[in-house]
């Protein structure tokens, strides 16, 4: 792998995309510690080969590193590399107003800068695409950045459990009952949702139910009361209040103006599908 880099200067219009690329490159590090420094933007570093440590944060915590691994580096946060073997890596510098929301949602994690993956191939493909398109199109680069961030989130260990929770979220169960079905403890479920989406099990369940309710309202002729039951609420009045507060429209209003509309079809509920 040869050392190469391309630096970009997005203009005012490109910066309105909310997420923009500032530079990309590939290269290798010799067997020598790098100087401690802090970036002025965000960065992602994909380690293809090598092992060692990442020094990170004001307390200079040393994180063990073994390829394949991904580093998230934040602006103003001290870091340095301590290779034990030669490192080969790809990198991207990026910024934009969307980084604050992505951090709040748990996609960018300053407290967990090093991520290890059993299967890094999806991340490697997403990174390779980003390196390619960043040199030709600002819009494609922004899309590729989102794809890379989403791909890393999908590969995180807590994501599988959250996917399973979403699959059964429309069942009218309590949190302890959900954990019994999933075969985990309440704390394990909380940790998984916190890691995968920076939220709580209750928030994941509520969001899933609202998404399912929107689909039923848009794609079926089910009465609102029946939609409420399908997504786990026996009281249609409570469901309507909750839907209105969450979506900003009453269920009947959403059915009229909040969806594409058109031909109704026989809609298969999430609860009819195999789940766990």
Listed residue (214, 232, 230) closest to 174, CA to CA: 232
Domain spanning 160-272: which CATH class is it, in words?
Answer: mainly alpha
Helix (H) or strand (E) holding 121: helix 121-133
Tens of pLDDT, residues 34-74: 999 999 999 999 999 999 999 999 999 999 999 999 999 99
The 10 Å Cβ neighbour count of residue 63 is 17
The 10 Å Cβ neighbour count of residue 29 is 19
Domain ranges of the chain: 4-155, 160-272
Whether 4-155 and 160-272 share one fold: the answer is no
Transcribe 144-175 into DSSP letters. Answer: HHHHHHHHHHHHSTTHHHHHHHHHTTTS---H
pLDDT by 10s per residue, the chain, length 276: 688 999 999 999 999 999 999 999 999 888 889 999 999 999 999 999 999 999 999 999 999 999 999 999 999 999 999 999 999 999 999 999 999 999 888 788 888 888 887 778 889 999 999 999 998 899 999 999 999 998 887 765 456 788 889 999 999 999 999 999 999 999 989 888 877 766 899 999 999 999 999 999 998 999 999 999 999 999 999 999 999 999 999 999 999 887 665 445 444 445 444 444
Per-residue pLDDT of 19-31, as tens digits, reads 999 999 999 888 8
126 token code pair: 């997403």
- What pTM did the predictor assign? 0.68
What span, in angstroms and rounded, lies between the C-alpha atoms of 114 and 173?
36
**What homologous superfamily does CATH list for 4-155?**
Regulatory protein AraC (2.60.120.280)
Q: What is the pLDDT of residue 260?
A: 64
138 alpha-carbon distance from chain centroid = 21
Q: Can you tell me the distance from the alpha carbon of 178 to that of 208, in angstroms, rounded to the nearest whole number?
A: 14
Give the per-residue pLDDT at 126.
94
């Amino acid at each position: 792998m040869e050392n190469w880099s391309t630096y970009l200067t997005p203009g005012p219009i490109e910066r309105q995309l909310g997420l923009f690329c500032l530079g990309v490159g590939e290269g290798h590090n010799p067997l020598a510690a790098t100087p401690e420094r802090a970036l002025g933007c965000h960065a992602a570093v994909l380690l293809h080969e090598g092992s060692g440590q990442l020094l990170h944060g004001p307390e200079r915590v040393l994180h063990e590193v073994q390829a394949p691994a991904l580093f998230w580096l934040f602006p103003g946060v001290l870091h340095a590399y301590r290779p034990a073997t030669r490192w080969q890596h790809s990198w991207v510098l990026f910024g934009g107003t969307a980084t604050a929301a992505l951090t709040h949602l748990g996609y960018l994690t300053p407290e967990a800068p090093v991520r290890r993956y059993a299967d890094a191939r999806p991340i490697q493909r997403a990174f390779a695409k980003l390196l390619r398109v960043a040199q030709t199109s600002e819009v494609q680069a922004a899309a590729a950045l989102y794809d890379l961030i989403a791909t890393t989130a999908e590969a995180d260990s807590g994501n599988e459990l959250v996917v399973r929770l979403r699959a059964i979220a429309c069942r009218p169960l309590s949190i302890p009952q959900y954990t019994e079905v999933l075969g985990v403890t309440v704390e394990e479920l909380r940790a998984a949702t916190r890691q995968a989406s920076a939220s709580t099990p209750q928030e994941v369940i509520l969001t899933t139910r609202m998404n399912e309710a929107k689909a039923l309202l848009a794609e079926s002729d089910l009465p609102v009361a029946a939609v409420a039951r399908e997504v786990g609420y026996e009281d249609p009045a409570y469901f309507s209040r909750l839907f209105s507060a969450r979506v900003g429209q009453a269920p009947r209003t959403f059915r009229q103006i909040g969806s594409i509309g058109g031909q109704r079809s026989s809609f298969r509920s999430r609860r009819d599908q195999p789940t766990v």
